[in-house]
Amino acid sequence: MLIGLNIALLVVLFDQLSKYYMLHDVLHNTMIIYVTPFFNLVRAWNTGVSFSMFNNYGNVGAWILSGLAMLIVIFLLCWLKSEKSVWAKYALGMIIGGAVGNVIDRIRLGAVFDFLDFHVGESHWPAFNVADSFICVGAAILIIQSFFFHYKQKEGK
C-alpha cells in the first residue's frame, strides 16, 4: 500500500507545482501560447469533470464533484490496501493522486486549472492538466493489466 500512497503523493506534488508554475509564471499575462502546430499552452478553467463534462452547475457542482471524487478516492484506497500487483498499486496511486490534485483545485480555486491543449487544425481536444494525464495513464495500466496479466490464486485460500 505504501508504494501506491507514495506515488499518489508524488502525483499531487507534481500536479500542483506544474499548475502553480503554469498559472503564475508561464501564462501569467496571457491566455494562450502557441507552441507547435498541434499543441498550445492555454489558461482554461474547468468547473465540470474530465474534459468539462457537467460544467453547468457552478459552485454547487464543484462541491458535489469534489465529494464524489473523494468517495471514489476512498474506494480506490480500499482497493489499494488489498491489491497484490505492484503495477496495479502504481496505477491506483496515479489515479488517486490525480483525483486529489483536481479536488485541491476545486476547493482552493473553485475550478480545475487546465493548460495542455492538443489540436488538429481547428479541432481541439478539451484542455487538460498533469492530474488528468496521470488518471488516464493509471486507468490504462489497470486495463492493460486486466487483459494481459492474470494472477492465479493458490488453491485452499
Catalytic residues: 114, 132
Cell of 41: 499552452
β-bridge mates for residue 33, sequence order: 41
Distance (Å, whole) CA 96 – CA 98: 5
For strands 123-124 and 39-46, give the pairing: unpaired
Torsion of Cα atoms, 119 then 124 then 127 then 130, to 10°: -30
Contacts of 28 (CB under 8 A, 6+ apart): none
For strands 39-46 and 112-120, give the pairing: antiparallel
Within 70-132, strands assigned E span 112-120, 123-124
